[in-house]
Chain A
Amino acid sequence: MNVGDEAARREIAVDRSRLVRYAGASGDFNPIHWNERVAREVGLPGVIAHGMWTMGAAVDVVVDWLGDPGAVLDYQVRFARPVPVPDPGQAVVEVVAVVGALDEEAGTARIDLQAVVEGQRVLGKAQVQVRLPR
């Protein structure tokens, strides 16, 4: 493994029913994530995904690559742009994970995530500090 290597990539689809499930599972019932009228009233283009849904879905490619959810030591993102979720239809988040830094002595790496929707990055400074499998 070398810095710059692509570790994993995935396309993740999200529709309104997915957001309702996430609302229930997370306890975040902010109506901008399921109610078109409320979303527009506060100036959004329509219902948007929970930023935390996008953050959680994006890191899953790293978990599957590592083989152990417990190997994620630190994970940070900046929410750069909202992800509008149409109805009918779906949004597609394209996630690419690249090795950003390696510390072979410590057995850790920094994985940098790109998350792109319709050509625009929706997460900034998305970095995952991981313990590498031995």
Chain B
Amino acid sequence: MPVDAGYVGRVYPPTPAYEVARTALAAFAEATGATHPAYSDPQAARALGHADVVAPPTYAVVIAQRAEQQLVADPAAGIDFSRVVHADERFTHHRPIVAGDRLVTTLHVEQITERAGITLVTTRCEIADEAGAPVSTVRSTLAVRGEDA
């Protein structure tokens, strides 16, 4: 089944708050081979002016991909996840994410285009604090191979 281009422009309701845990930031840093002390040591983070341990630059993907599930796991959207590869990703940080943040994500479906049997699905996640102040914008494009591609 092809991807339903009628989803373009859809904006999902804000997600429940995602609470950023110190242990999650340290585990993510460790998995990517990152050793900067500000990922695990609150004092090192505070010395740089952060309120608590800070998230690695790509950690926001963890929050964004949870929100993207609203689209990706929706059978009516027609995204066959076994035929998906990640095409591109972009993070724009309005401020660093730190442990203790409670973050709410609004998923926007920006673009769905097809060429040569491959459908490109571009989403934008606006991650904000509970008061609505912007924290990160995450843009992601998935390439969905059609049956013949």
Contacts and interface: CB of A to CB of B under 8 A. Distances in A.
Interface string A17-53: 0100110111110100000000000100000000111
B48 interface: yes
Contacts of B86: 51-52, 79
A18 B31 contact: yes
B32 A53 contact: yes
B61 A26 contact: yes
Contacts, number: 112
Interface residues of B, number: 39
Interface residues of A, number: 36
B89 A77 contact: yes
Interface string B43-67: 0000011100011111001100110
A93 B55 CA distance: 23
Given A52-B58, A56-B58, A70 B30 contact: no
B34 interface: yes
A68 B106 CA distance: 28
A27 B62 contact: yes
Given A25-B24, A69-B56, A74 B33 contact: no
Contacts of B61: 26, 52
A59 B58 contact: yes
Nearest to A31: B82
A132 to B, nearest CB: 14
Contact of B96 (A25, A56, A69, A82): A69
Interface in B4-61: 24, 27-28, 30-36, 38-39, 48-50, 54-58, 61
B113 interface: no
A81 B17 CA distance: 34
Given A26-B61, A69-B36, A69-B96, A21 B89 contact: no
A101 interface: no
Interface of A: 12, 18, 21-22, 24-28, 30, 42, 51-53, 55-57, 59-60, 63-64, 67-70, 72-79, 82, 125, 128
16 contacts: A18-B31, A21-B31, A24-B31, A30-B81, A59-B56, A64-B35, A64-B36, A69-B39, A69-B55, A69-B56, A69-B96, A70-B38, A70-B50, A75-B91, A76-B91, A79-B86
